[in-house]
Structure 1
Amino acid sequence: MFKPDLYSKINNEARRDTRDFIEEYSNEIGQMSGRCLDIGSGPCDVVTDFLLPKLNPKSTVVCSDISKPMLDYAKEKYGANDRLSFLQLDIESPTLAEDLVEQFDHVTSFYCLHWCEDMRQAFENIFELLRPGGSGFLTFVSDFPCMDAYKVLAAMPRYQRYMTDADRFIPVFQHAEHPRENLKKLLREVGFEISHCSRREISNIYDTPNDFGRVMAAVNPFIHRMPAQLQREYEVDLGIEATKNGIFFNKDNNGGYNILCRHHMFVVYLKKPSIN
């Protein structure tokens, strides 16, 4: 989240999943016109490569992110595109800027909202951002067992001081008994009409724990807090601990193996009711 160049290089799995989700809903996305807001755009490669080509050609996208380094990177790389603009935005903020209320025809977000601790506030803000009749297409993690590694590492003395808020970064629905039903209930309470809400299993294969550790480190909220000499140690330990929730297979005569890691994603298409 704080190393956009690194994240851009290793987020292949998230890019693949998002490409597939956008392709699946290409008809609905193709009807999105006017002013769109993308929440958690990161380095903006997904918006540029997959979302923008599917949107109505006359639409524009405001790329938003809570991370200034991500936005600065996106502006430098994609700022010349006149269909894009950039906004630093905390979607959990209890004080949404008045000049943003009902200013967007559509909202999208990919692999982002699971970072929100106050999910109700996030969805209330999305509701407020949308104009009446506006729609939203959102994908985010329902549960990712590998993230339970955060709690294990947070208990280790050498990492403890940097991870005092470890629980805050584990997905809200991680251990929910009925995650899809809970999400739909929340969305209806906020005021949305739900056109689609599903929970999909996603699988990724990594060659070694170190490979997976590098992916986890690129989106890790703690590693940037640590001194440089501790970061590499943490990355290795994160990979080892996180892959304990994976499946090991294809062990060769040299002791090599692959790791299958599974998680679940919410895929949501919703609408804000029109004013009668």
Structure 2
Amino acid sequence: MFKPFKFAQNVGPSLGMIEYALKNYWKFVNIKEHCNVLEVGCGPGNTTHDYLLGLFPKTLQTYIGTDQSEPMVEYAQKHYQNDPRLKFELMDITTDTLPNKFLQAFDHVLSFQCLQFVSDLRKSLSNIYRMTKPGGNNFITFTARYTLFDIYEELAQSDIWKPYLKDYRKCVTPTQFYVEPHHHFETILKEVGFSPIVCVLRDKNYVLPKKSFLAFLDSTCMYPIPKDLMHNFVEEVIEGMKRRKCGNGNNEDGQYVTTPHRLLITYAIKPQLNSL
């Protein structure tokens, strides 16, 4: 995902998932005054700046958005680092060398629609645990299963798309093939030391006009599809959705596409007496 401007302009589906999670589950979060907040997977920073920063009290000390994509972080720093409390930094959540300044430094760690792009959930959650203060908490959402990934798997077998999708599984959500992914995720949370309070799975659909879906897929596609082939690629994805009865019909903008998700939402705390 290295197209920050396009992603910022086509954030609708991701924002819809975030808004649903916040509306229904943010009420469980114990928000602290004078807190320090870390976000894992901030992308281009627009959602962080426009929506997430406002979740915290005026006494918020620092909010650090992190992402493993240098173009995303540079875009966020350029366009959204106008609040003195808000900073954006480059970091891979699966790193073996966390910055010392991040260890046990945060009251709240957030991650919205990011971990579906991370292959090692255990390492990610272990690092989140190490960066959370005792008594702190995390709020995480990600797509645990996505019909789009099934279609990518299908297209990866075709002669046309095989050269571009040969590593497609590296970009497939790590819980794609679990029957009960929330139970798997909750187990990992407990094993790294967290006490889960909420860990739920919700089936959600997001409907987009075909043109909007094309723009969204172009901005989020992790595969090296040539620009001149992207339209054909999206057309084949839409055909795959139709075969699964996910996209058909017309509205005033033309054909629309329905994209089914299984959204995983968790809230967990780090016990006071636990240490690194």
With structure 2 as the length reference, what TM-score do the two structures score? 0.89
* 2:50 matched residue in structure 1: 49
* 1:213 matched residue in structure 2: 214
What do residues 146-201 of structure 1 show as CA deviations (whole Å, max 9, x unaligned)?
Answer: 21122222222333223221112111111212222111111111110011111111
| 1:66-145 alignment, distance < 5 Å | 66-145=68-147
In structure 2, runs of 5+ residues without a counterpart are none
Matched, 1:183 2:181: no
Cα distance between partner residues in 2 of 1:16 and 1:179: 21
Cα distance between partner residues in 1 of 2:41 and 2:33: 19
Q: Which amino acid aligns with 2:39?
A: D
Q: Contact 1:180–1:197 at 8 Å: present in 2 too?
A: yes
Q: CA deviation at 1:207?
A: 3.0
Cα distance between partner residues in 1 of 2:247 and 2:168: 26
Q: Which amino acid aligns with 2:95?
A: S
Q: Which amino acid aligns with 1:41?
A: C
Q: CA deviation at 1:67?
A: 0.8
* 1:161 matched residue in structure 2: 163
Q: CA deviation at 1:212?
A: 2.5
Residues 258 and 43 of structure 1, relative CA distance in 2, 3 Å threshold? same
Cα distance between partner residues in 2 of 1:32 and 1:218: 36
* 1:228 matched residue in structure 2: 227
* 1:273 matched residue in structure 2: 271
* 1:34 matched residue in structure 2: 35
Q: Which amino acid aligns with 1:272?
A: K
Matched, 1:261 2:259: yes
* 1:245 matched residue in structure 2: 244
Q: CA deviation at 1:231?
A: 3.3
Number of corresponding residues: 271
Q: Which moved more, 1:193-202 or 1:168-177?
A: 168-177
Q: CA deviation at 1:245?
A: 3.3
* 1:6 matched residue in structure 2: 6
Q: Which moved more, 1:146-155 or 1:56-65?
A: 146-155
Cα distance between partner residues in 1 of 2:245 and 2:93: 31
Q: Which amino acid aligns with 2:261?
A: H
With structure 1 as the length reference, what TM-score do the two structures score? 0.89
Q: Contact 2:33–2:59 at 8 Å: present in 1 too?
A: no
Cα distance between partner residues in 2 of 1:259 and 1:119: 30
